[in-house]
Structure 1
Amino acid sequence: MNQDLNIREDKSFEEAISQLEQIVSRLEKGDISLEESITNFQQGIELSRYCAAKLDEAEKKISILLQDEEGNLIEKDFEL
């Protein structure tokens, strides 16, 4: 992730979503400068990508792809 925008790899999904919501709120208010808006937008994009990656990671932990008898991939819920 982009360290210049202060996005840590160890940030939890919940922390990232909360930060993203704050950025969206600031951008929607429209009371910040253009430069601040661009910086917030860039950080929002990075957070969005981070959250998408975390969701993808979680989905991979929950699901396991298996092959059936015909060699087709089927999705099965992850079981401990």
Structure 2
Amino acid sequence: MAQPGPDIAKLPFEAALAELETIVDKLEKGAVALEDSIALYERGEALKAHCDRLLANAQMRIEKIALNAEGKPKGVAPLDGE
């Protein structure tokens, strides 16, 4: 049976995406036992959800960039509206 990887919540986006790509590759090749495939699929789902959350947070930060009168970035506004 496959060993669980590092705690997903602590992974940066790039590491989570790389692990997700590795899982997809293994599953597509079909050379993994059924139980391992299920475990990999479940971890892949969790990694995808984590990546989605990180991307949503990044998008919110980008949308909060404040522009000056010329339309150029002058800083960022806090996410909580303070």
On whether the aligned pair clears a TM of 0.5, the verdict is yes
Segments of 5+ residues of structure 1 without an aligned counterpart are 65-77
Q: Relative to 1, partners in 2 of residues 1:43 and 1:32: Cα closer, same or farther, differing over 3 Å?
A: same
The structure 1 segments of at least 4 consecutive aligned residues displaced by more than 6 Å after TM superposition are: none
Q: Paired residue for 1:68? A: none
Instruction: Confirm or deny that 1:47 pairs with 2:44.
Output: no
Contact 2:20 2:47 in 1 (8 A): yes
Q: Aligned runs of 1:35-74 on 2, under 5 Å? A: 35-64=35-64
> 1:18-53 CA deviation, whole Å, 9 max, x = no partner?
000000000000011000000000000000000000
TM-score normalised by L of structure 1: 0.73
Q: Paired residue for 1:26? A: 26
Aligned residues: 64
* Cα deviation, residue 5, structure 1: 5.8
What letter matches 1:27 in structure 2? Answer: L
